[in-house]
């Protein structure tokens, strides 16, 4: 019989994901161990309240409230507490004691990633975080390793399941946002405080993580431009539909060359119009899909569940196996590379397309006036659709104008000029078009 | 200035993929090196003919016909010769001299994989092969690492770009198979000898590799059941379309439990009917898409170009970076795990669905007779569609029967019994349904 080395695993947190990780480790640890050539032993689970009700029954003798003590005796520490503290302190303690750390904590990584990676590198430990983006979808490892020999141009996709669920209910079932959010709460897609999802913070955290990996540059959360789905009303969804688009909250990061020839990184989150024939419009419910465009590889897509305790636990256990293999074989794993240090560009440097809906006076010469405003700002019109609107006092018309790609700064200036124009009654909506 | 260690890279082969790898290494080697913290030096390219015409101009001084000598001085050997020999001998020499080896050689891996992995393990070297399946699509690494903590149930998808191109032309453009194959030759999707693709060998090699990884079991090519697209005529494609299906050549491997309660692996390649609403029907041209169904992760999809020199080179360079990191950091990488040693089951143990088109005598009692044949064989009918056919002498009808899932053995016996029945004029076609 082979004598296996035992690897001690400490789990911090027994919430939706943590409880599933514990269950899978307790039930399937022997099979995982056989894959690695080690005995994987879950030595303890740190919780705040020993008596809290949990989604999975966990052995009482494994529970402890002393997270610090648990961390210090472990070979592998799995942090699923969420939030900045005490997660950050515990991770640093674990790394400094030589343990490998696995985390799904996107908030922590987006805000303090570089500090944590530095700490890991200094002691030759590893920090794994496949669960931080796209739940079970393998996206971190492909970027970190499979595409490490390529040059990534752009990543864009749906990285927040909750808002995709809400927008999908509005699009496919004609729900109001309140109805969609109520259902999202009931089904567990939204937390008690929905701000993190609805205002785009969660998506922005993930974009910061993806951009850092893709462009070998530290990208703090503050460098990610962010708009949530607050302004997406049923009218916006319906108007988009009538024009052949679906509204999706997108996370985008890309290599951008400015007018001065400077290459930098643009990272942003906003609701955008996606053409109906684009594969992203087929991503329903709480699912996620990430497109990666690389110079040699071309277009790649990764699709799967974007949330869920069990699904996220799959990604965590993949990282546990990686860490265990590293412990058995010795030698450091894959460090983070930020050698490129590309400048981080603001939203004004992004090149996007706008779809602008205006209400204008229905009289001769108005279209010429509008067109000249676009020309003055250097933005080029691609499509115009004019419909007469049922006016109250004066006859008005509705104009829907699609632009070619232009600098966001120029597009924003165009919208300002339109608002100031006497022939424009109202700028009814301004939405970016992506994926076309 | 940092003194970087130099890693010597030897390239074997300068065909479609090899030439692109050389170009990317020569042009982008410095940037890749910075990501790793090493100098990556392409020290030579072994070719058969120094004067052959190539898709990319390569520095003459790097070319050599002495592959053996080139291999022995290298830290990393990239084998892109294809075929069994001399590739196998050169890879073994490279591994035995301590070099890490990167290969895209699916034929070699499918037939001699275990021998090569053993050789690598014995000397603590690594064998990387992301390019062997799905060109640039990261699928090997996600299976080997990201999903290593999960339990994979099933992998299925389009893993051969050439046949997908041919079937897609027949489906979308009404082309005959000859027309579609002619165009595939012209566009470089088919080799001079198309057998490898058209008869399903290439897909079967990839299925053998995926099944081995997914189920931690050595799966030789001979264990993969294989049918090519030889019988897929425009009539078959058109009949499928009229019934709401698209014909795709699928590679499938899955965990199967036999009637005796034995758990084993079923691996197979055949053209199958995919329901029109399934995402696989949207995979056009030479693209590939692989679905992975895992116990915890749920359904995942990986999509991208399935062929192409540049795209495949991206996967090779990702492996070069992995190998380089390993050389810098020391310690073995990820070994292959075949600890599960599941039995390999034949096609008869697969559970599939059939769509059977019959011509039968158009007279009372025929449907009852047909239905009783199904019942006797223990296969359950799900749908029946009957249309009167323009008969010559006697009036005949056309019956299209869809079955529920049943053991392939029972379905095959049902078709035999139908052929033997006096009321059946002709069994016009038998196709499996997948993805429904």
The tens digit of pLDDT for each residue in B201-218 reads 999 999 999 999 999 999
* Contact state of B318 with A149 under an 8 Å Cβ cutoff: yes
The pLDDT assigned to A389 comes to 62
Residue written as token pair 């425009």: B234
Q: How far is A37 from chain B (nearest CA, A)?
A: 9
Confidence of residue B312 (pLDDT cuts 50, 70, 90): very high
The structure tokens listed for A332 are: 């450091």
Residues 6 or more apart from B125 whose CB is under 8 A from it?
A: B94, B95, B98, B99, B100, B101, B119
If phi > 0 it is left, if psi is from -120 to 50 it is alpha, else beta; for residue A379 that is beta
Would you state the structure tokens that stand for residue B10, as one six-digit string?
């030897």
Is residue B332 within 8 A of residue A331, CB to CB? The reply is: yes
Q: To the nearest whole percent, how much of chain A has pLDDT over 70?
A: 96
Cβ within 8 Å, pair B136-A297: yes
CA distance A113 to A92: 11
Q: What is the pLDDT of residue B110?
A: 92
d(CA A254, CA A268): 9
Q: Is the per-residue pLDDT at A173 higher than 80?
A: yes
- Around Cβ A178, how many Cβ atoms within 10 Å? 9
Confidence of residue B435 (pLDDT cuts 50, 70, 90): confident
Given pLDDT bands bounded at 50, 70 and 90, which one contains residue A337? confident
Cis peptide before B27 (omega within 30 of 0): no
Mean pLDDT of A289-300: 95
> Nearest Cβ partner of A329 from B34, B35, B331?
B331
Angle between helix A161-173 and helix A177-186 axes, rounded to 10 deg? 130
Residue A128: helix, strand or coil by DSSP?
strand
- All CATH 3.30.70.260 domain ranges of chain B, comma separated, are 350-433
Instruction: List Cβ neighbours of B257 (8 Å cut-off, separation of 6 or more).
Output: B263, B264
CB-based contact A208:A128 (threshold 8 Å): no
Taking CB atoms and an 8 Å limit, are B300 and A296 in contact across chains?
no
Question: Would the CB atoms of A331 and B334 count as touching at under 8 Å?
Answer: no
- The CATH class that applies to domain A350-433 reads alpha beta
Q: Is the pLDDT of residue A392 over 60?
A: no
For residues B70 and B291, the answer to whether their CB atoms sit within 8 Å is no
Which ranges of A174-200 would DSSP assign to H, the alpha helix? 177-186, 195-198
Residues in B touching A310 (Cβ below 8 Å) = 296, 298
Instruction: Place A331 in a pLDDT band, splitting at 50, 70 and 90.
Output: low
Q: What are phi and psi of B204, to 5 degrees?
A: -65, -40
Whether residue B130 contacts residue B315, with contact meaning beta carbons closer than 8 Å, is answered with: yes
Average pLDDT over residues B129-136: 93
Contacts with A339 from chain B: Cβ below 8 Å? 34-35
Nearest partner of B251 among B157, B161, B185, judged by Cα: B157
- Report residue B295 CA to chain centroid gap: 22
Distance from CA of B409 to the nearest CA of A (A): 32
Token pair listed for A208 = 């910061």
Closest C-alpha to B35, from A145, A257, A208: A145
Q: What is the mean pLDDT of chain A?
A: 91
Residue B306 neighbours by CB under 8 Å, 6+ apart:
B134, B135, B137, B158, B159, B160, B161, B164, B286, B287, B288
Q: How far apart are CA B292 and CA B282, in angstroms?
A: 17
Going from the C-alpha of A404 to that of each of A99, A263, A293, A408, B71, the distances in angstroms are 52, 22, 21, 11, 52
Mutate to test the interface with B, among A146, A214, A287, A320 (most CBs of B within 10 A): A146
CB-nearest partner of A339 from B28, B35, B137: B35
Catalytic-role residue among A88, A93, A177, A206: A206
Measured between CA atoms, the residue of chain B closest to residue A128 is B146
Interatomic CA distance for residues B87 and B94, integer angstroms = 10
Q: Tell me the C-alpha distance between B217 and B210, whole Å.
A: 10
Interval B254-283 mean pLDDT: 92
Question: How far off is chain B from A217, nearest CA to CA, in Å?
Answer: 11
10 Å CB burial of residue A50 (0-12, 13-18, 19+) is exposed
Handedness of CA A405, A409, A412, A414 (dihedral sign): negative
Q: Please state the rounded mean pLDDT for residues A32-55.
A: 90
In the block, tokens 């006096």 appear at: B422
Pick the range with the lowest mean pLDDT from B100-114, B166-180, B382-396. Answer: B382-396
Write phi, then psi, for A339 (nearest 5 degrees): -65, -25
Q: Which of A296, A297, A310 minimises the CB distance to B296? A: A310
- H-assigned helices in B54-160: 67-72, 87-96, 106-123, 140-141
Nearest to A311 among B31, B149, B296 (CB): B296
- CA dist B363 and B178 (Å) reads 39
pLDDT at B436 over 80: no
To which CATH superfamily is domain A140-305 assigned?
Answer: Dihydrodipicolinate Reductase; domain 2 (3.30.360.10)
CA distance B342 to B212: 10
Angstrom distance (rounded) from CA B179 to CA B169: 9
A290 strand-pairing partners: A157, A302
B38-46, strands of its sheet edge to edge: B63-64, B38-46, B5-12, B76-79, B100-103, B127-128
Q: What's the CA gap between A394 and A193, in Å, rounded?
A: 45
A–B interface: beta-carbon pairs under 8 A: 188
Q: Which of A145, A331, A337 sits opposite B330 (nearest CB)?
A: A331
**CB distance A271 to A232 below 8 Å:** yes
Active site (annotated) includes residue B248: no
- Homologous superfamily of A5-132+310-329: NAD(P)-binding Rossmann-like Domain (3.40.50.720)
Answer whether the bond into residue A86 is a cis peptide, omega within 30°. yes
Residue B302 has pLDDT above 80, yes or no: yes
Residue B188: band (very low, low, confident or very high) from pLDDT cuts 50, 70, 90: confident
- Contact criterion met (CB < 8 Å) for A138 and B136: no
Across the range A151-170, mean pLDDT stands at 96
Residue B190's contacts (CB-CB under 8 Å, 6 or more residues apart) are B162, B181, B184, B197, B198
Is the pLDDT assigned to residue A1 strictly greater than 80? no
Residue A191 has a pLDDT of 80
Assess contact for A72 and A97: CB atoms under 8 A: yes
Residue B276: CB atoms within 10 Å: 13
Q: Which residues in B lie closer than 8 A to residue A138 (C-beta atoms)?
A: 138, 141-142, 145-147, 300
Tens-place pLDDT, residues A356-387: 999 998 888 899 999 999 999 989 999 998 87
* Buried-exposed string A359-388: b where 16+ CB fall within 10 A, e elsewhere: bbbbeeebeeebeebbeebebeeeeeebee
* A36 secondary structure, DSSP code: H
Residue partners of A145: CB distance under 8 A and separation at least 6: A334, B138, B141, B318, B321, B322
Enter the tokens of residue B133: 């399946």
User: Residue A390: its pLDDT value, please?
Assistant: 59
Check CB contact under 8 Å for A315 and B300. Answer: no
- Residue B3 backbone zone (phi > 0: left; psi -120 to 50: alpha; other: beta): beta
For residue range B416-427, list pLDDT tens digits in order: 999 999 999 999
Domain with CATH 3.30.360.10 in chain A: 140-305
* Helix B201-215 vs helix B106-123: crossing angle, to nearest 10: 30
Task: Look at residue A2 in the predicted model and tell me its pLDDT.
Answer: 56
Is B373:B414 a contact under the CB 8 Å cutoff?
yes
ipTM score here? 0.87
**Rounded distance between C-alpha atoms, residue B433 and residue B402, angstroms:** 9
Please compute Rg for chain B using Cα positions: 25
Q: Is B241 a residue whose pLDDT tops 70?
A: yes
- Start-end ranges of CATH 3.40.50.720 in chain A? 5-132+310-329
Is pLDDT above 80 for B334?
no
Mean pLDDT, chain B, whole residue set: 91
Q: What torsion do the CA atoms of B92, B95, B96, B97 make, to the nearest 10 degrees?
A: 120
pLDDT confidence bin for A325, thresholds 50/70/90: confident
Tokens representing residue A53 in the block: 């009700």
Interface test with B, best of A120, A129, A216, A296 (most B CBs within 10 A): A296
Residue with the two structure tokens 């309660």: B261
Q: What is the CA radius of gyration of chain A?
A: 25
A141·B145 Cβ contact <8 A: yes
Q: Which among A149, A151, A303, A333 is the top mutation candidate for probing chain B, defined by the most B β-carbons within 10 Å of its own β-carbon?
A: A149
Domain B5-136+310-329 classified CATH 3.40.50.300? no
Asked whether residue B394 carries a pLDDT value surpassing 80, the answer given is no
Interchain contact, A294 vs B314, CB within 8 Å: yes
Q: What is the pLDDT of residues A221-275, one digit of tens each?
A: 999 999 999 999 999 999 999 999 999 999 999 999 988 888 999 999 999 999 9
Quick one: pLDDT at residue B339? 79
State the Cα–Cα distance between residues A372 and A368, nearest whole angstrom. Answer: 6
Q: What is the pTM (predicted TM-score) of this model?
A: 0.90
């Amino acid at each position: 019989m082979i004598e296996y080395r035992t690897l001690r695993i400490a789990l911090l947190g027994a919430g939706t994901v943590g409880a599933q990780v514990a269950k899978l480790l307790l039930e399937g640890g022997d099979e995982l161990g056989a894959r690695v050539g080690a005995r994987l032993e879950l030595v303890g689970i740190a919780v705040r309240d020993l008596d809290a009700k949990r989604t999975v029954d966990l052995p009482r003798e494994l529970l402890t409230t002393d997270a610090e003590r648990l961390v210090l005796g472990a070979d592998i520490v799995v942090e699923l507490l969420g939030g900045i503290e005490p997660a950050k302190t515990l991770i640093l303690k674990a790394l400094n004691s030589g343990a490998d750390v696995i985390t799904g904590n996107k908030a922590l990584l987006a805000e303090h990633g570089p500090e944590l990676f530095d700490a890991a590198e200094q002691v030759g430990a590893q920090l794994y975080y496949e669960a931080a983006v796209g739940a079970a979808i393998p996206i971190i490892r492909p970027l970190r390793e499979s595409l490490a020999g390529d040059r990534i141009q752009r990543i864009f996709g749906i990285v927040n399941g909750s808002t995709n669920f809400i927008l999908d209910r509005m699009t496919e079932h004609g729900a109001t946002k309140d109805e969609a959010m109520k259902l999202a709460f009931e089904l567990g897609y939204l937390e008690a405080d929905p701000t993190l999802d609805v205002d785009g913070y969660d998506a922005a955290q993930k974009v910061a993580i993806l951009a850092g990996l893709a462009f070998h540059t530290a990208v703090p959360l503050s460098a990610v431009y962010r708009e949530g789905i607050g302004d997406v009303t049923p009218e916006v969804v319906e108007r988009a539909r009538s024009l052949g688009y679906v509204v999706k909250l997108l996370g985008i990061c890309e290599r951008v060359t400015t007018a001065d020839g400077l290459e930098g990184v643009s990272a942003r989150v906003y609701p955008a119009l996606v053409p109906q024939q684009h594969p992203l419009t087929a991503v329903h419910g709480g699912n996620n899909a990430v497109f990666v465009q690389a110079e040699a590889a071309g277009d790649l897509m990764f699709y799967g569940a974007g949330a869920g305790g069990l699904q996220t636990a799959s990604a965590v256990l993949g990282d546990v196996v990686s860490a265990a293999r590293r412990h058995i074989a010795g030698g450091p794993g894959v460090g983070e590379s930020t050698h490129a240090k590309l400048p981080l560009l603001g939203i004004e440097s992004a090149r996007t397309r706008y779809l602008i809906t205006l209400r204008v006076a229905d009289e001769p010469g108005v279209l010429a006036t509008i067109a000249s405003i676009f020309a003055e700002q250097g933005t080029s019109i691609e499509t115009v659709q004019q419909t007469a609107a049922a006016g109250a006092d004066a006859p008005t018309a509705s104009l829907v104008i699609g632009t070619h790609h232009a600098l966001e700064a120029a597009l924003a200036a165009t919208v300002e000029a339109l608002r100031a124009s006497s022939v424009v009654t109202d700028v009814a909506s301004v939405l970016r078009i992506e994926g076309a």
